[in-house]
Structure 1
Amino acid sequence: MNRTFFFSFTVLVFILGVMLGFQLRGANAGNTAVPGDREQKLAMEKKNLVEELYEMQLEINDLSTKLDQAGIGQKEAEEALRLELAKIKRFAGLSEVSGPGVEFIIQSRPGQTEPGPGRNLQNVTDHHLLKTVNELHCAGAQAVAINGQRITTLSEVRQAGEHINVNGVPLSPPYHVIAIGDTPALKGRLELKEGLVDYLNACGISVEALEKDEVVVPASDELYYEYAKIVKENM
């Protein structure tokens, strides 16, 4: 293994970090509106994510400098870079992750005729799923998936006739929303009085909440940027 390998590997990690930066910039366009206090909390969470990304980039730059100046061994350098790459991939949703969490099974309640605030009394809509995802993120969910589709800042959740498209993939009910995080906090947030579960029930939608010792959230598809290019820094 030579210096060219380490330089190429460092560049790869840097590119992933920049790609993640683009994701975070696009998050404002993908989120639905939430009440004032929740909107403020989401804004603070996004600010923290940007700060964490900046700190990661500083760590990557530091590793690159150490390769040139400190002359650390090839094996140690490779391991350090691999760990940094794994951290960024996990942060961007590019790696499968597992941990304690919850599973919410969401579907229409048969025979519901009582009026409610939903657009469609009988069917789950993209609006309902987006509200669920937002509430989970507000409760501190570290990873979320709907029917096997990882939710990232670039994910779209959109109504498409009888189906709901997530990441361009048509999904049908029941919708299994899986989230990793503090299990009691995730479940408790959605089950607050007059919270999301009560809201969905009023729309004629059934919600079953299951606490799990371990759930698996799959990785998102690989990201491709056709038009966005890396800006070279002046040496």
Structure 2
Amino acid sequence: MKPKSKYVLLSIVMLVLGYLISFSYQLTNEKKPGSMSAEQWDKEYESRQLLIEQEEKNLKLQAALQKKQKNVQDYEKKLKKDKQAASGLVEQIENLRMYVGETGVKGEGVQITLEDSSYIPADENANNYIVHESHIFKVINELLISGASAVSINGQRISADSYIFCNGPVVNVDGNQFPAPFVISAIGDPDVMISAFTISGGISEQLVYDNIVVKSEKKSEITMNSILQGDRKS
């Protein structure tokens, strides 16, 4: 082969090799992950903007939701307070109705029995040896001071408007007459009421001094109907 032909052939080989290298390099660049066209960049930018806008909307919605949740919690707290207040009012009303005798009541308490003296000296006035309304008043007042929530005399419920007076050998309570013995029942703390009633120098001793037979005892359960029912049951 002539030297000139050798150089021509070598040039052709080098040209083909250069083209192959150039094509391979361009193809490699096109396949790189970071290599994108302008259209792809626009689409990606648009997607990113939509994502950012959606995230901002989500943040606003989350803030609005938190505000509404707080409003609901505040309303629940207010409702709870109102419910407690209403419950307290209902309880107060029920207690007041119980105190005035409009509702029946049951509970532990005490029972005080007053009897006329069984012995009356011949030269003494019989009125000095029987139970009078003043004696009954003393017992009732002492029981109420000691915390009694309800009181009855021989089963007749006592209210703030009740009246008690003697009528010969009997005692009249709100128009109902009762002979001795007089059983005064009171619902409340039995220990407190008995202690107050039997304290030294107290009502019990005063009644004995007035020649009244006195008996006091605790009761595990006393039942009283309302004044409106008019059922005398103790």
What TM-score bracket applies, with the shorter chain setting the length?
Answer: 0.5 to 0.7
Check the 8 A contact 1:113/1:204 in 2, yes or no.
no
Letter in 1 for 2:200: K
TM-score scaled by length of structure 2: 0.55
CA drift of 1:163 comes to: 1.4
Q: Give the alignment partner of residue 104 of structure 1, picking from 93, 101, 112.
A: 112
* Alpha-carbon separation, structure 2, partners of 1:163 and 1:80: 43
Q: Which stretches of structure 1, 4 residues or more, deviate above 4 A after TM superposition?
A: 79-88, 112-116
Which residue number corresponds to residue 202 of structure 2?
A: 195
Q: 1:62-115 CA distances to partner (integer Å, 9 max, x unpaired)?
A: xxxxxxxx9xxxxxxxx9998786454323211110111001111012115499
Q: 1:161-207 CA distances to partner (integer Å, 9 max, x unpaired)?
A: 22111111111111010001110111111101111111111111111
Distance 1:80 1:175, change over 3 A: same
Bigger shift: residues 84-93 or 126-135? 84-93
SS in 2 for 1:121: helix
Q: Unaligned 5+ residue runs, structure 2?
A: 1-78, 80-86
Q: Percent identity?
A: 27
Distance 1:182 1:81, change over 3 A: closer
Q: Give the alignment partner of residue 176 of structure 1, picking from 177, 183, 202.
A: 183
* Alpha-carbon separation, structure 1, partners of 2:201 and 2:112: 17
TM-score scaled by length of structure 1: 0.55
Which residue number corresponds to residue 211 of structure 1?
A: 218
Letter in 2 for 1:135: E
The structure carrying a bigger helix percent of its residues is 2
Aligned residues: 145
Distance 1:161 1:101, change over 3 A: same
Letter in 2 for 1:152: S
TM alignment of 1:1-235, pairs within 5 A = 86-113=94-121, 120-221=127-228
Letter in 1 for 2:217: L
Check the 8 A contact 2:157/2:225 in 1, yes or no.
yes
- Rg larger in 1 or in 2? 2
Cα RMSD of the aligned pairs, angstroms, is: 3.0
Which residue number corresponds to residue 62 of structure 2?
A: none
CA drift of 1:142 comes to: 0.8
Q: Unaligned 5+ residue runs, structure 1?
A: 1-69, 71-78, 224-235
